[in-house]
């Protein structure tokens, strides 16, 4: 439950080593969150910085590729800190299209994480939030899924599926007291994209985190980062496919 000042009190981060996820959690702790669960593969995550800021931090083992464990993980997190105010699934694999072209099994495996893993934790989290009667699920989508490009169509198609799932889940939760915030960043400069050429209107993990925290203070359901990407993709959606195919990789 939010504290007496209306600030988020408890946070669950699924993907406890994610740059974006940790940036969001750090901001929430600075704003008053005091109980945090970091769920990461192997049960290791950088908790020290959050603890120095005054947070009580629990670290749990989490494997995005094992959906049969996700519901129990959500309940274990709630047992540690009580009602979950904010749940942030922040895991995923940014593979290369050339690798997927050569190895369809790798493509299927990564899609199972990037889409299937989010479906599993999303439904489990939504059930918990619905039972509580409050809480927010933050879904980190991407502009890559708004209109899928040939340069990364396996990754983009998983994000397109995730975006649609998140919108449907938001509708399903309407009236329950719980809600979904869908976040659509552009190219994010960070560890995951190291060595890649930044796209126009690129952002940092810090900028995404600032946008998410701002959205938590409003009833906004969809967040574009940066905001001007919304207009850009309104135009891109209308481009004829022959032109879309010729866009630079």
Q: Please report the domains of the chain, with CATH numbers, ordered by start residue.
A: 10-245 (3.40.50.720)
From 155, 156, 180, 203, the catalytic residue: 155
* The pLDDT value given to residue 99: 96
Catalytic residue at 100?
A: no
CB 135 within 8 A of CB 156: no
Identify the CA nearest to 211 among candidates 234, 188, 194, 192: 188
The CA distance from 186 to 198, in Å, is 10
Which two structure tokens, joined as six digits, stand for 165?
């799932």
* The pLDDT value given to residue 5: 43
Q: How many CA atoms lie within 13 A of 223 on its CB side?
A: 23
* The pLDDT value given to residue 141: 96
Specify the 3-state DSSP secondary structure of 248: coil
* The pLDDT value given to residue 64: 97
Q: Is-above-0.85 flag for pTM?
A: yes
- The dihedrals phi and psi of 9, each to the nearest 5 degrees, come to -110, -40
Residues of the chain scoring pLDDT < 50: 3-5
In tens, the pLDDT along 149-196 reads 999 999 999 999 999 999 999 999 999 999 999 999 998 987 877 777
């Amino acid at each position: 439950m939010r504290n007496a000042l209306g600030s988020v009190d408890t946070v669950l981060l699924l993907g406890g080593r994610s740059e974006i996820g940790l940036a969001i959690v750090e901001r929430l702790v600075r704003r008053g969150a005091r109980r945090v669960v970091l769920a990461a593969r192997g049960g290791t995550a950088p908790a020290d910085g959050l603890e120095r800021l005054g947070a009580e931090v629990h670290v749990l083992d989490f494997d995005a590729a094992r959906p049969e464990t996700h519901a129990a993980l959500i309940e274990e997190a709630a047992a540690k800190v009580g009602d979950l105010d904010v749940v942030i699934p922040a895991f995923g694999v940014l593979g290369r299209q050339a690798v997927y072209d050569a190895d369809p099994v790798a493509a299927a495996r990564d899609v199972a994480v990037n889409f299937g893993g989010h479906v599993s934790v999303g439904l489990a989290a939504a059930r918990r939030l619905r039972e509580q009667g409050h809480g927010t699920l933050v879904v980190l989508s991407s502009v890559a899924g708004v209109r899928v490009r040939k340069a990364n169509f396996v990754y983009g198609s998983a994000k397109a599926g995730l975006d649609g799932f998140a919108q449907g889940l938001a509708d399903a939760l309407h009236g329950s007291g719980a809600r979904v915030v869908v976040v659509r960043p552009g190219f994010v400069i960070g560890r995951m994209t190291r060595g890649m050429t930044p796209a126009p209107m690129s952002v940092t993990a810090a900028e995404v985190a600032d946008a998410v925290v701002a959205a938590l203070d409003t009833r906004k359901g969809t967040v574009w980062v940066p905001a001007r990407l919304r207009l850009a993709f309104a135009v891109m959606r209308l481009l004829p496919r022959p032109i879309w195919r010729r866009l630079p990789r």
